[in-house]
Amino acid sequence: MKVLLVNDTGHLVASMENLEQYDAANPGDVCALMDFLEKLIATAKGNDSFSPAA
């Protein structure tokens, strides 16, 4: 499964592939999913240029 996140103007903001293969026991997978969810929330708030803190 591929999930695409687009903003209200139709521009691609983020995408995730093979979502069904993500493993909650794998820290790398969890971090990737959290990053995607942070982008989703930022996009919903209208902040397309979201950049997570380092």
- Using one digit for the tens of pLDDT, what is the confidence trace for 25-43? 999 989 988 988 888 888 8
What's the whole-number mean pLDDT along residues 6-28?
Answer: 85
pTM for the complete prediction?
0.63
Q: Is 3 left (phi over 0), alpha (psi -120 to 50) or beta?
A: beta
- Rounded distance, CA 32 to CA 39, Å? 11
- Rounded distance, CA 33 to CA 19, Å? 9
* Sign of the dihedral defined by the CA atoms of residues 9, 48, 14, 3, in that order: negative
Identity of the amino acid at 3: V
Question: Residue 29 corresponds to which tokens in the numbers above?
Answer: 């997978």
